[in-house]
Amino acid sequence: MERSEQSKERLAKLAMLRQEKAIAFPNTFRRTHFTEELVVAHQNTSQEVLQQHPISAKLAGRIMTRRVMGKAAFLTLQDGTGRLQLYIKSEEVGEALYDTFKKWDLGDIVGAEGVLFKTHTGELTLRVASIRLLVKALLPLPDKYHGLEDPELRYRKRYLDLLTNESKRTLFKRRAQIVDEIRAFLKKRNFLEVETPMMQPIPGGATAKPFVTHHNALNMPLYLRVAPELYLKRLIVAGFERVFEVNRSFRNEGTSSMHNPEFTMLEFYQAYADYQDLMAMTEELFRMLATQVLGASQISYQGHSIVLGQPFARMRLSEAIVAYTPGLTEDHLKGEENIFGAARSLGVSYDPSASWAEALVNIFEQTVEAKLIQPTFITHYPTVVSPLSRPNDEDGNWVDRFELFVGGLEVANGFSELNDPELQAKRFAKQAEAKAQGNEEAMFYDEDYITALEYGMPPTAGEGIGIDRLIMLLTDSASIREVLLFPLLKPSL
For residues 359 and 331, give the distance between their C-alpha atoms in angstroms, rounded to a whole number.
16
Q: Which pLDDT does position 146 carry in this prediction? A: 58
Q: One-letter amino acid identity for 229?
A: E
Q: Which pairing describes strands 398-406 and 376-382: parallel, antiparallel, or unpaired?
A: antiparallel
Structural domains in the chain, sorted by start: 5-141 (2.40.50.140), 163-324+368-483 (3.30.930.10)
State the CB neighbour count (10 A cutoff) for residue 252. Answer: 15
For residues 59 and 31, give the distance between their C-alpha atoms in angstroms, rounded to a whole number.
5
Q: Which pLDDT does position 148 carry in this prediction? A: 77
Q: Which pLDDT does position 181 carry in this prediction? A: 98
Q: Which pairing describes strands 124-135 and 83-89: parallel, antiparallel, or unpaired?
A: parallel
Q: Which pLDDT does position 145 carry in this prediction? A: 55
Q: Which pLDDT does position 451 carry in this prediction? A: 98
- List the pLDDT tens digit at each of the 493 positions of the chain: 678 999 999 999 999 999 987 889 999 999 999 999 999 999 999 999 999 999 999 999 999 999 999 999 999 999 999 999 999 999 999 999 999 999 999 999 999 999 999 999 999 999 999 999 999 999 999 876 556 788 889 999 999 999 999 999 999 999 999 999 999 999 999 999 999 999 999 999 999 999 999 999 999 999 999 999 999 999 999 999 999 999 999 999 999 999 999 999 999 999 999 999 999 999 999 999 999 999 999 999 999 999 999 999 999 999 999 999 998 999 999 999 999 999 999 999 998 889 999 999 999 999 999 999 999 999 999 999 999 999 999 999 999 999 999 999 999 999 999 999 999 999 999 999 999 999 999 999 999 999 999 999 999 999 999 999 999 999 999 999 999 999 999 887 6
Q: Which pLDDT does position 353 carry in this prediction? A: 87
| pTM value surpassing 0.75 | yes
Kindly give, in sequence order, each residue whose CB lies less than 8 Å from that of residue 369, ignoring residues fewer than 6 positions away.
405, 408, 410
Q: Which pLDDT does position 232 carry in this prediction? A: 98
Q: Which pLDDT does position 327 carry in this prediction? A: 87
For residues 160 and 172, give the distance between their C-alpha atoms in angstroms, rounded to a whole number.
14
Distances (CA, A) of 296 to 287, 288, 441: 9, 9, 40
